[in-house]
Structure 1
Amino acid sequence: MAGAKDGGLRRLSCDDNDKIARDWFADEVKALGCKYEVDKIGSQWATMEGENNDIPPIGVGSHLDSVQSGGKFDGPLGVFTGLEVLKVLKESGKKTYAPISVINWTNEEGARFPPGCMSSAVWSHQLSLDYALSCTDTADRTRTIGSELQRIGYAGPKDVSYKTNPLSAHFEIHIEQGTRLEEAGLDVGVVDGGQGMRWYDVSLRGVTRHTDTTAMAGRQDALVGASKAVLEVERIGKAYGGMATVSLFKSAPQNFCNIPAEVDFSFSMQHPDAAVLAAMTDEIEAFIRATAKQSGLEVKSYENVWTFEPFKFHDEAVQCVEHAAKENGFSYKKLISHTGHDSIYTNFVVPTAMVFTPCKDGISHSPLEYASPKDCSVGAQVVLGAVLKYDDMLRERHG
């Protein structure tokens, strides 16, 4: 499969590299004899039959898309682990009570088509399908995710809804994207919840005039106003003990001789306490609006494009992960996730839990992203154990 020249991944959702990865996934699961389906937002579903196919499958899901400067583990580790679960079951001849589904969720990253975790949000009824399919490419507003799914041949017929396409539970493995496990020398993380998140798009407008002839006192420089916001976002993240970053940033006109009159930027904020997160976002909005007023700028738009409250995963599913770690003799600790995953959306409607595996120096969204084969194997064993434990619980309830 195609990768980037720097050794990482540039597999943006619904681009040509994503199609290559999707085609590979389809071939792999068909070779295992799985029932293979694609839904209307492009997510791929591979289901291995169980003894009782009248109950919803246990899901193991993650994503194959990356950010522009991605690594090889964020997302693919979860999908590859799901495939390994299916292979172990097939090769061992073990038939689970419930069917098992492995899912490649479309557009988890949201790097090309914000917001992130798009398909799982639609599946859990947190986002409408029509809205999702109309979301545009950040680099080319004429392209929608709907049109790109059609172009690469992955606009499927299957419904995107937990009501018509249900799961009994959902498990996901992911690199930690932090150093807590690595620093503690632990094998695995049992993820029992996550912090809240906010994404915002902001547009500031000033007046463009000649840079060489306009007096400093009379300028309405949108770039200066936006730059103050960049520093304030960082200050607030540190001051509140949370996380905050300005990411996308565009200014116009782009030349030596004109004062920038148009600036569009995006920022995100995270904190595990909902009240603190609300205070952070209120404070930055007040700052941006006050700065714009003082500088003679217009706040053309200020849009919240993604909101997620701090949450807890389902106790029963978390206990299955913890049981699997203990049963295999792995050292572990309970952790919260610092960012979004498809599991945060499946958690709305079915018991869900996650497994974290250590990653070198906590690096992710980078070609330097790395998790050792041993750590990946340990994490996969925990996922398999959690799935089998949950399957035993379903057998007791229904059998």
Structure 2
Amino acid sequence: MQTNLERIKSHIENLDRFTATPGQGTTRLTYSKEDLDARNYLKQEMAKVGLTVSEDAIGNIYGRLEGANPDLPAVIVGSHFDSVPNGGAFDGPAGVITGLEVASVFHEQQMKPHFPLEIIAMVEEEGSRFGAGLLASRAITGKVTTEMLHEMKDIAGITAAEAMASVGFDANRVHTAIRTKESIKAFIELHIEQGPVLENANEDVALVDTVVGLTQIKVTVKGQAGHAGTTPMLDRKDALVSAVEILGQLPELAIQEGGGTVLTVGKLNVYPNGANVIPDKVIFTVDIRAKDEIHVQNTLTKTKKIIQAAEKNGITCEIEDMIYQQPTHLSKEIHQALTKSADQLGFKYRTMVSGAGHDAMIFASLTEVGLIFVPSHKGISHAPEEWTDYDKLQKGIEVVLETVKKWTEESANESENKTSSFK
């Protein structure tokens, strides 16, 4: 292999040291001290392998290896370096280190790409600090405004704009982070699978062709509070009982729909939440995901019918549509290139649908995008136990390296003749 296993391991372990919760997983929130420490480390390592280092207005870190023709669009490799609270060492950094390792091989072998090569380490993908997931890629694609950064706050009431200023970034210049379609030839992201499929199948990598469509709704079930001891059973308007009747029917909807549809009730709050009080209000969320939009729509329609049918005997229900995201189909060309690289390297692979959102899906509105997964031990992620074997990570990086070598060496005419799958 051309990549260096010990170097990959060292980078992952070094980044993992920048945590607010030593011994309790990785906690590296955007614009925090830990962010700053990790940022300085990454900039230093980028410079060591001959990259020109810069930061954009939102705080993304770029390392650029100039191409033989600097006016051509760049091939970008990277991911995010923030984390959830008490998360793992691989979610995000695996993709950042992929870019750094690709650049290291280019540097060691003194390869001069025809197209510029850029690696990127992005902020606030998780949304753990400001509740604004995929913030970096949304800023790059022009979907973040100065006003938004002044409005979004963390749990301590600090705005994103204030936090940015504390580490040297200016929310009023966020528009300068926008990249044009003409400046990017492709974006490739490696990520851990965050599920058990690859490990269970003893496969090396997954090549993602689609990021699922999803919808989230918030449901409020209202009844009437009452004394737990003095209100007869037949006279009750128990919001929790009605909510449970709804919830018990929902998983079967996804099973019957098929097509890989999944449905999750991940949040539930009961009011007034007293042991001797009949609940008068229950609020819960429903998350529905599928590769094909029709399955999302069908399951959502049936879910709403079940909720509406619960409005009886003094119970009322309110439904708030929170998120609706269409499936994102990634570049067929890059998928084919990744597949060819995996074949040539002799690795075991499959095509997979991503059930989670990633920065790659945001870049898909801007350029050709590829997404590759490496195995997660026992499927665990967003936890201190998150783990990917380093030899598996190295194999994923090798696939990216081979693909990047091809995509940065194509002639300008070949690139200009390509038709993006997003146009």
Same fold (TM > 0.5): yes
Structure 1 residue 106, shift from structure 2 partner? 2.5
Aligned to 1:234, the other structure's residue is in SS state: helix
Query: Among residues 201, 212, 215, which one is paired with 2:218 in the alignment?
Result: 201
Partner Cα separation in structure 1 for residue 220 and residue 55 of structure 2: 37
2:352 paired with 1:335: yes
Q: Which amino acid aligns with 1:116?
A: G
Structure 1 residue 65, shift from structure 2 partner? 2.1
Structure 1 residue 39, shift from structure 2 partner? 3.2
Whose radius of gyration is greater, 1 or 2? 2
Q: Which amino acid aligns with 2:361?
A: I
TM-score by structure 2 length?
A: 0.82
Aligned to 1:278, the other structure's residue is in SS state: helix
Q: Which amino acid aligns with 1:176?
A: E
Q: Say if 1:112 and 1:268 are closer, same or farther in 2 by CA, change over 3 A.
A: farther
Aligned to 1:247, the other structure's residue is in SS state: coil
Alignment correspondent of 1:66: 83
Alignment correspondent of 1:288: 307
2:286 paired with 1:272: no
Q: Say if 1:292 and 1:144 are closer, same or farther in 2 by CA, change over 3 A.
A: farther
**Partner deviation per Cα, 1:67-114 (whole Å, 9 max, x = no partner):** 334222121100111111122222222121122222222222234444
Structure 1 residue 341, shift from structure 2 partner? 0.9
Alignment of 1:1-399 (within 5 A): 1-2=18-19, 4=21, 7-125=24-142, 127-130=143-146, 132-133=148-149, 136=152, 140=155, 142-155=157-170, 157=173, 159-163=176-180, 166-241=183-258, 242-292=261-311, 294-299=313-318, 302-305=320-323, 307-395=324-412, 397=414
Structure 1 residue 346, shift from structure 2 partner? 0.9
Mapped contact 1:41–1:146 kept (Cα < 8 A): no
Partner Cα separation in structure 1 for residue 346 and residue 317 of structure 2: 59
Mapped contact 2:114–2:410 kept (Cα < 8 A): no
Partner Cα separation in structure 1 for residue 362 and residue 397 of structure 2: 22
**Partner deviation per Cα, 1:156-176 (whole Å, 9 max, x = no partner):** 646232328832100011122
Partner Cα separation in structure 1 for residue 151 and residue 398 of structure 2: 37
Partner Cα separation in structure 1 for residue 40 and residue 313 of structure 2: 54
Alignment correspondent of 2:6: none
Partner Cα separation in structure 1 for residue 144 and residue 218 of structure 2: 20
* Matched length: 395
Mapped contact 1:108–1:117 kept (Cα < 8 A): yes
**Partner deviation per Cα, 1:18-40 (whole Å, 9 max, x = no partner):** 34333432333244453333334
Partner Cα separation in structure 2 for residue 140 and residue 185 of structure 1: 41
**Partner deviation per Cα, 1:352-372 (whole Å, 9 max, x = no partner):** 111111222222223222111
Q: Say if 1:391 and 1:182 are closer, same or farther in 2 by CA, change over 3 A.
A: same
Partner Cα separation in structure 1 for residue 57 and residue 147 of structure 2: 13
Partner Cα separation in structure 2 for residue 203 and residue 23 of structure 1: 46
Gaps of 5+ in 1: none
Q: Which amino acid aligns with 1:48?
A: L
Mapped contact 1:172–1:343 kept (Cα < 8 A): yes
Q: Which amino acid aligns with 1:29?
A: M
Q: Which amino acid aligns with 1:390?
A: W
Q: Say if 1:250 and 1:101 are closer, same or farther in 2 by CA, change over 3 A.
A: farther
**RMSD between aligned alpha carbons?**
3.0
Mapped contact 1:191–1:355 kept (Cα < 8 A): yes
Mapped contact 1:197–1:339 kept (Cα < 8 A): no
Partner Cα separation in structure 1 for residue 316 and residue 163 of structure 2: 36
Q: Which amino acid aligns with 1:297?
A: T
Structure 1 residue 337, shift from structure 2 partner? 1.6
Q: Say if 1:332 and 1:77 are closer, same or farther in 2 by CA, change over 3 A.
A: same
Mapped contact 1:45–1:102 kept (Cα < 8 A): yes
Partner Cα separation in structure 2 for residue 203 and residue 18 of structure 1: 37
Structure 1 residue 252, shift from structure 2 partner? 3.8
Gaps of 5+ in 2: 1-17, 417-423
Q: Which amino acid aligns with 1:34?
A: L
